[in-house]
Structures are given as C-alpha cells and as structure tokens.
C-alpha cells in the first residue's frame, strides 16, 4: 500500500496514519522520522520546515518558539543570551547595544521595570542600572532609589562620583556616569517621593544637566507635578535651590554656606546652596527635621519613605 506524504503505513498494511507533530515522512514511508533541531513538523508533515529568523526549535518540535527578549537566535536551533551591554526584543536574531533605559525600551520593546545592563556611549563602560518602564510610558534611567534604609547614603565624594549600592536595591548610580549619559541629548528629570503616611507626589523638570568637574546642577523649567507646592522649586532665584550648585559631600564642601558644610549639617550629600530645599540623600527614617530625607516642595516638615530620581531623553 502506498501512503500519502506525511503518513506512514500501519502494520496491517491496509491503512495509513498521519505522522504526529514533531515527525515527518515522505510518500510511501513505513516510518515517521523525528524533525531535527532548527526545524518544525506539524501533524502529517512530509518534510521538515526550517524555523525563520528570530525563532528556534529543538529536535522533535511541532512548531518553532519565538526567541525571548534578551536573547538572540542566529541559527534557529539555539538561543544565546545577549552579551553584556546589549539587549534584544522578542523574536530577534541579533542583539543591539543599549546606552540607556530609553534605548532598551525603544530597541527591544521591553516594558518590564528592573535591572538591565547598558554600555555608556563615550567611555564604553558596561554598568547595571534600574530602568523604570512603567511611569509615563517608561524609558527612565533611575539614578537614585531609596525605600528601606538598607544602604548608608552618608558617603564621601569619591563614592558619590563612582556610585554605590546595587541597582536591584537602594543605590546611587554615580555622578560621573550620570553626567556622561546626560551629555548625549536633552533630558527631563523626574523626582518621585512618598511619605511614611502614604502620601505621594512627583516633580518633572526639563533640560536636566550636570556641568563641569563639580557636577553643577541645572534644569530649565518645571513641566508637570503632583502634590507639589509652587515654593522651593529647583530653579534659580532662591538661596536654597540646587540650581547652579556643585555637588557637596562631607569631605568636599562646594556649597555657599560660610559657617559650615551643608552635607555635615544635613547628614547627606546634594547640590546644596546656602543649604537645602531637598535632602534626598539624608538619613533614612523618622528622624530629626533637617537630617532626614526631605523634599520641601512636597512637604518641608515630612520625612520620606520612598524616593526615586531618574531621567530620560526629552520628547
């Protein structure tokens, strides 16, 4: 008896049966052959079909599987994890270099917040960053995050310049890296805060930049906010604003105060002026006013439980 393509002759030699998924047979065959890796064979297949780019399969597959995000599939039979500093979207046969969380969002289509590896554009340094892919469409590179007090933020200038903590927990990305990433294009700055009472708010400013060896702080305008007052803005015109100020730590006094170091007085590190209208790197917890984590435009008398400071390209 002669069976059709994709069928095999049953032992009684009087009937045919289609090959199961993952197997194939040519016309007249008495056996079904397992599909090899990199191909697929639906039920009743007469031959193997090669997986298209961005998909893969193992031997005996009835269908091809899409290559997951963060991996690439160059030969249809194997998945490879993207090298450090690169990433990919689902269904990719190649990995692309990402220079920011915004790059990851747009090059890979990833919408899950978490830790990613990026490669800085100028120094070509591979670093781990926390990406906020949820807020306002995502693509935010987080450079400061606090939520449980597990990391001590009363640190020296070198540590603030190079970064500390872990991107998966509380951390500070590092002034050198922040400045390098901001040099690529115009960026907006977003500050998210939440008090111990559960009240939350945010501030967004345009054209965030850090200039020179002192990492001088500049923004242009407040563009949107929630639960913020019109006082204590991060703009020029107030003796407490960070605008135009260098970054100060307990061992690098670059503030405008003549009778002391604001970082020592506030138990933190920031772009202090005469002193501060924000102290987001202060002591965690319900502590003495002035020492704790504070953001005066939100509430000058309330310690903060959560802070997240981040940037992304404008527009």
| Domains of the chain and CATH, by start | 1-66 (2.10.50), 139-313 (3.90.215.10)
CB 292 within 8 A of CB 277: no
Q: Looking at residues 91-95, what average pLDDT do you find?
A: 79
Q: What confidence score (pLDDT) does residue 46 get? A: 84
Tokens coding 279: 């102290």
Question: What tens digit of pLDDT does each residue of 17-45 get?
Answer: 788 889 988 876 778 889 999 899 998 88
**Is pLDDT above 90 for 9?**
no
Please indicate whether residue 142 or residue 88 has the higher confidence score (pLDDT): 142
The Cα–Cα gap between 151 and 165 comes to 7
**Is pLDDT above 70 for 289?**
no
**Is pLDDT above 90 for 234?**
yes
Q: Looking at residues 213-228, what average pLDDT do you find?
A: 97
CB 73 within 8 A of CB 93: yes
SS (H, E, C) 98-167: CCCHHHHHHHHCCCCCEEEEEECCCCCCEEEEEEECCHHHCCEEEEEEECCCCCCCCCCHHHHHHCEECC
Q: Confidence band (pLDDT; 50, 70, 90) for 260?
A: very high
Q: Looking at residues 64-69, what average pLDDT do you find?
A: 86
Q: Looking at residues 278-292, what average pLDDT do you find?
A: 86
Q: What is the DSSP letter of 292?
A: B
Q: What is the DSSP letter of 79?
A: -
Alpha helices of 261-302 — where are they, by DSSP H?
262-266
**Is pLDDT above 90 for 243?**
yes
Question: What tens digit of pLDDT does each residue of 294-306 get?
Answer: 999 999 888 999 9
- What is the chain's length? 315
Tokens coding 290: 């002035």
Question: What tens digit of pLDDT does each residue of 120-163 get?
Answer: 988 988 899 999 999 999 999 999 999 999 999 999 999 999 99
Tokens coding 296: 């005066």
Tokens coding 260: 């002391």
């Amino acid at each position: 008896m002669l069976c059709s393509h994709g069928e095999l002759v049953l032992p009684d030699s009087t009937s045919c049966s289609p090959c199961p998924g993952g197997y194939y047979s040519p016309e007249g065959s008495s056996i079904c052959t397992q599909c090899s890796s990199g191909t697929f064979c639906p039920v009743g297949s007469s031959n193997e079909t090669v997986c298209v780019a961005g998909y893969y399969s193992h031997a005996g597959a009835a269908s091809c599987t899409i290559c997951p995000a963060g991996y690439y599939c160059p030969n249809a039979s194997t998945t490879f994890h993207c090298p450090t500093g690169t990433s990919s979207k689902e269904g990719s046969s190649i990995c692309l270099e990402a220079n920011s969380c915004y790059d990851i969002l747009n090059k890979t289509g990833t919408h899950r917040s978490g830790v990613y590896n990026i490669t800085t554009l100028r120094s070509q340094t591979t670093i781990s960053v926390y990406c906020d892919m949820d807020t306002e469409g995502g693509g935010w590179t987080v450079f400061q995050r606090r939520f449980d007090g597990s990391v001590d933020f009363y640190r020296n200038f070198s540590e603030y310049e190079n970064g500390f903590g872990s991107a998966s927990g509380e951390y500070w990305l590092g002034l050198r890296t922040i400045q390098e990433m901001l040099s690529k294009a115009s960026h907006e700055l977003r500050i998210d805060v939440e008090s111990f009472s559960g009240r939350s708010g945010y501030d967004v400013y345009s054209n965030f930049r850090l200039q020179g060896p002192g990492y001088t702080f500049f923004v242009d305008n407040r563009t949107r906010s929630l639960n913020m007052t019109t006082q204590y803005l991060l703009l020029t015109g107030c003796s407490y604003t960070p605008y135009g100020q260098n970054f100060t730590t307990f061992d690098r006094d670059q503030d405008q105060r003549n009778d002391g170091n604001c970082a020592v007085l506030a138990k933190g590190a920031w772009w202090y002026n005469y002193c501060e209208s924000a102290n987001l790197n202060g002591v965690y917890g319900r502590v003495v006013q002035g020492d704790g984590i504070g953001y005066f435009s939100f509430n000058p008398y309330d310690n903060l439980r959560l802070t997240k400071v981040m940037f992304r390209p404008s527009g």
